Amino acid sequence: MTMNAAIRSAMDVMMERDDNIVVFGEDIGYFGGVFRCTEGLQAKYGSTRVFDTPIAEGGIIGAAVGMGAYGLRPVVEIQFADYVYPGLDQLISEAARLRYRSSAEFTAPMTVRMPCGGGIHGGQTHSQSPESLFTHVCGLTTVLPSNPYDAKGLLIASIEDDDPVIFLEPKRIYNGPFDGHHDQPVVPWSSHPLGEVPDGYYRVELGKAAIRRPGADVTVLAYGTMVHVAAAAASETGIDAEIIDLRTLLPLDTDTIEESVNKTGRCVIVHEATRTSGFGAELSATVQELCFYRLEAPIERVTGWDTPYPHAQEWDYFPGPARVGAALRRVMEA
């Protein structure tokens, strides 16, 4: 199953189980969304539970907060993560704070889905990875899957969560585990074990990382597309890296991270977002707080550059296997 199909399946399964779940966003109704993630849902559940919205991300998220306060569980789509900013005030000041400021009289059980990341020649307004902004906002849970199986299980867990969850979808891997080799054809999810997705209900718990590749020499912290890039870098360098797929950025699975880095003594962090104050900063700070005395080399960050995402030079910006591999070598030689 592709990742978009898995995401669609998660919403389908949950809408069948709970008729307080409503799905809305720009072009997600009759049309099924620009990435087809809601295809068929309006036909199945009707336009009272699955509907298009005006082009107003602030309105979409604000309305969802009100619906959540009523007792519904809205699952909304922001067409691209690059367009979430008009809705940030409703997320930061309202959704994330409602439980706290009302001492749980009112809550905002909602899921905000948005495609993120580059690699599709989308330029600076269709490629962004704003995850670190969300992780700085207490009250938000931030999820970013790397494969169809997790995407479905994590989305179900997110929808069932009683607080707002930001669910980021790396659009470059909707159709296959892209590993950064843009010159080669992408293998489809159908030929990948994590592309095997049960039709029914299952959860992947929030806040739990997964070790994608056990290894002894260096810990790689990654999420989304970068998990596959890291895997490619490991096999190409032959370095015995332990690749941790964080899956949930907040709350962060520090136990798994700590255990791994204490074992390997080395750590490379990879993300596509710009470097300064990206989530890699928090990861690096956390690792050195937890594992300082075990570290044998400086923690490295391999990230997008501190520039907007360029269009034509996309692959000079994207942190590919070569850059990750070089970082692995550096920390091993250090």
Partner 1 sequence: MIEAVPLRFGIPEPPARPGELADFSYLDVPAAGSVARPAVDTRPSDMRDLAYSLIRVLDEQGVAVGPWDPQADVAALHEGLRAMVMTRAYDDRMTTAQRQGKTSFYMRCTGEEAIAVGHALELQARDMFFPTYRQQGWLIARRWPLVDMMCQVLSNEKDRLHGRQMPIMYSARDAGFFSISGNLGTQYIQAVGWAMASAIKGDTCIASGVVGEGTTAEADFHHALTFATTYQAPVILNVVNNQWAISSFQGIAGGSQSTFAARAIGYGIPALRVDGNDYLAVLSATRWAAERARTNYGPTLIEWVTYRAAAHSTSDDPSRYRPADEWKSWPLGDPIERLKNHLIARTEWSEEQHSELVASSDREVLAAAKEAENYGTLLDGRVPSARSIFEDVFKAMPQHLERQRRQMEEGR
Ligand X SMILES: Cc1ncc(C[n+]2csc(CCOP(=O)(O)OP(=O)(O)O)c2C)c(N)n1
Interacting partner of 280 out of partner 1, ligand X, a second copy, none (Cβ under 5 to 8 A depending on kind): a second copy
Does the protein bind ligand X through residue 26 (CB under 6 A)? yes
The answer to whether 88 and 133 have CB atoms below 8 angstroms apart is: yes
Contacts with ligand X by CB under 6 A: the residue count is: 5
For the bound state, the minimum distance from the C-beta of residue 315 to a second copy, rounded and expressed in Å, comes to 19
Tell me which residues in 95-124 interact with partner 1 (CB under 8 A).
97-107, 121-124
Does the protein bind a second copy through residue 306 (CB under 8 A)? yes
For every residue of the chain, which 3-state class applies, written as one string?
CCHHHHHHHHHHHHHHHCCCEEEEECCCCCCCCCCCCCCCHHHHHCCCCEEECCCCHHHHHHHHHHHHHHCCEEEEECCCHHHCHHHHHHHHHHHCCHHHHCCCCCCCCCEEEEEECCCCCCHHHCCCCCHHHHHCCCCCEEECCCCHHHHHHHHHHHHHCCCCEEEEEEHHHCCCCCCCCCCCCCCCHHHCHHHCCCCCCCCCCCCCCEEEECCCCEEEEECCHHHHHHHHHHHHHCCCEEEEECCEEECCCHHHHHHHHHHHCCEEEEEEEECCCCHHHHHHHHHHHHHHHHCCCCCEEEEECCCCCCCCCHHHHCCCHHHHHHHHHHHHHC
Does the protein bind a second copy through residue 89 (CB under 8 A)? yes
Nearer to ligand X, 93 or 276 (CB): 93
Choice from 17, 40, 44, 55 touching ligand X (CB under 6 A): 55
Interacting partner of 51 out of ligand X, a second copy, partner 1, none (Cβ under 5 to 8 A depending on kind): partner 1
Tell me which residues in 85-144 interact with ligand X (CB under 6 A).
86
Of 36-44, 68-76, 192-200, 292-300, the segment contacting a second copy by CB under 8 A is 292-300
Does the protein bind a second copy through residue 86 (CB under 8 A)? yes
Does the protein bind ligand X through residue 83 (CB under 6 A)? yes
Tell me which residues in 177-236 interact with partner 1 (CB under 8 A).
207
Nearer to partner 1, 235 or 286 (CB): 286
Check if 182 is active-site: no
Catalytic residue list: 126
Q: Which residues bind a second copy (CB under 8 A)?
A: 58, 82, 85-86, 88-89, 92-93, 97, 100-101, 124-125, 132-133, 135-136, 138-139, 250, 273-274, 276-282, 284-285, 288-289, 292-293, 295, 297-301, 306-308
Binding site for ligand X (CB under 6 A): 26, 55, 79, 83, 86
